[in-house]
Structure 1
Amino acid sequence: MSDTIDQAATAGHPSVANVPLEARRPLRLRAHGQTDTGRKRTSNEDQFLIAVLSRALRVLQTSMEQPEVQLGAPEGYLFVVADGVGGHAAGEKASEMAVNSIGKFVVDTLKWCSHLRPTAAGDPILLEFQKALSQANDKVIDEADKHPEWHGMATTMTLGYFGHRELFVAHVGDSRCYLLRNGLLYRLTRDHTFVAEMVRRGVLKPEEAVNHAYRHVVTNVVGGDDPGVQVEMHKMALEGGDCLMLCSDGLTEMVSDEDILNILGGTPHTSEACDQLVKRANEKGGKDNVTVVVARFDE
């Protein structure tokens, strides 16, 4: 997370800077996701997920005619976007497997560490998400070994977990996570591509990367031929009025950051924002599958 984001998270709010997150009211969430095949592709290899983690009582048997379903307050919210890669429907399988693997992890593991505090080893939630993406990586590779036609299948994965007014981001690949705050759009993740790395090293200028022949070569994925996965992770506090967007590169290849800012900033309804973003990508050519998840946080 950049210094700019650190400063943005507390600037102008000295009265709440030292108040523990648990002592403040939970933020209210509105979220929506949308995916589209685009204008050039015949199948959609993208996946998205919006889920809530909460305590629940599931009645197996009772003498009551209409037992009440007992649901506890939400403990956290999960947002995921995955963009699959591979022929013979393997990309679609890879993204689906990876998203399901993350969902299972959240149910089985995350609830047990969500109340733990950071230690010298790091934040427990971030550490667990690092394990989760490693498990998803192993799952995709194992399934590819069982099915030769799926050899080399892989997927990007960008996820956000929101709980206790904090956002945790885990990221692999060239899908993206953005934050809109106080009229400014921040990109929270880096593209794990050959060209983006050359720009970061100063070998290429940003303007040279726009149409570079290798700009779509992803160097870090869940699955694929290379063992292991490098997980980029971030943590930050959220504020009322913040807007979070996760998307596949089918959006950002077609729609500029300026257009994204204008649509998110001018469209308060999450479903309408998703619809406008997908439509804009298709209007600009729709060369790839397009997936968007938009979440707004209110006091």
Structure 2
Amino acid sequence: MAYQIEYAYTCHIGKVRNNNEDNFWCCGESLDSENKGMSHVCSGHIKQADLPLLAVFDGMGGESCGEMAAFLAAESCGQYYKEKKKEFSEDPEQFMNGLCSTMNHAVCHYGKENKINSMGTTAAMLAFGKENVYSCNLGDSRIYQISSEGKLGQLSLDHVLGGGRFGKPPLTQYLGIPEESMGLEPTIVPQKAEIGTRYLICSDGITDMLSDGEIADILTREISVSETVELLVERALIKGGRDNITVILCELVEQEKSLFGKLLNYFL
């Protein structure tokens, strides 16, 4: 099926934190290691045939280690994608596993070189095939799907230990797991690509502030992806904005026909 992806994204520092430990990789765009987020929402569209990749990273660790972990993940994500994106069509799951291993190596290598024992980042990603959309995650940054009928479903798996009864539970999966432990197990889920479906990738700056019901209410409004991202961030800030907020929202739409295709349909 030929389709294109309309997308919008932003990254906000929130109302409480002094630093931004979030980052992303969206169709070639990401943030520097030291940043204060973005002042606006960016948007665009891309053909599925161009094999786009969307990703959100939420860094962990003191003394700027979280920012560096998220930056390294975004940087190595972009490098891997540029070098190997054609391999996605051959074996999507192998591509995603290879991507996770590459990003994990980048974070672990930096930690060893700089004698840092505690740094890491979540990862939540989407890649688009002809027939299926592939979600992949490590940690608790989430990926939601909302169908054209307005049904919300979480595609990602929260990799957390226990129920978080005494505060935020520790992660069982993330980028930065020591390579010698062989413990990296990303959750990869294929979903049939259908026109009208929206996908949301976000850090816990959204999900800790807004319930699934509130998220579904916003995602089902008949407004553009860009306006939807603005509204999600606005609501999270109103609810307290206690963490950094990163959002990528996309919608699958019919691919615009070329002039030749339009003329051909006209004469047929």
**Aligned counterpart, 1:219:** 172
Cα distance change on mapping 1:81 and 1:92 into 2, 3 Å: same
2:22 paired residue number: 46
* Matching of residue 131 in structure 1 with residue 86 in structure 2: no
List gaps (5 residues or longer) in structure 1: 1-23, 53-71, 117-123, 197-208
**Where does 1:93-172 land on structure 2 (aligned, <5 Å)?**
93-111=68-86, 113-116=87-90, 124-148=91-115, 150-172=116-138
CA RMSD of aligned residues (A): 1.8
Q: Secondary structure at the match of 1:193?
A: coil
Paired AA for residue 52 in structure 2: Y
Alignment identity in percent? 29
Give the gaps of 5 or more residues in structure 2: 29-46, 255-268
Residue 127 of structure 2 aligns to a residue whose secondary structure is: strand
C-alpha distance in 2, partners of 1:289/1:39?
8
Question: Which letter maps to 1:296?
Answer: E
Deviations 1:195-249 (A, max 9, x none): 35xxxxxxxxxxxx5xx21433212110055743111111121111100000001
TM-score of the aligned structures, taking structure 1 as reference length: 0.74
State how 1:1-299 maps to structure 2 within 5 Å.
24=1, 26-51=2-27, 74-111=49-86, 113-116=87-90, 124-148=91-115, 150-181=116-147, 182-196=149-163, 212-224=165-177, 227=181, 228-299=183-254
2:53, 2:126 within 8 Å by CA — same for their partners in 1? yes
Structure 1 moving runs of 4+ over 2 Å: 72-75, 113-116, 224-228
Shift of 1:125: 1.3
Aligned-residue offset at 1:131: 1.6
The number of residues matched between the two structures is 233
Please name the residue that 2:34 is paired with: none
Do the aligned residues in 2 keep the contact of 1:126 with 1:233 (CA within 8 Å)? yes
Describe the shift of the 1:82–1:73 C-alpha distance in structure 2 as closer, same or farther (beyond 3 A).
closer
Residues 250 and 216 from structure 1, CA distance in 2 versus in 1: closer, same or farther, beyond 3 angstroms?
A: farther
CA contact (8 A) 2:142 2:203 kept: yes
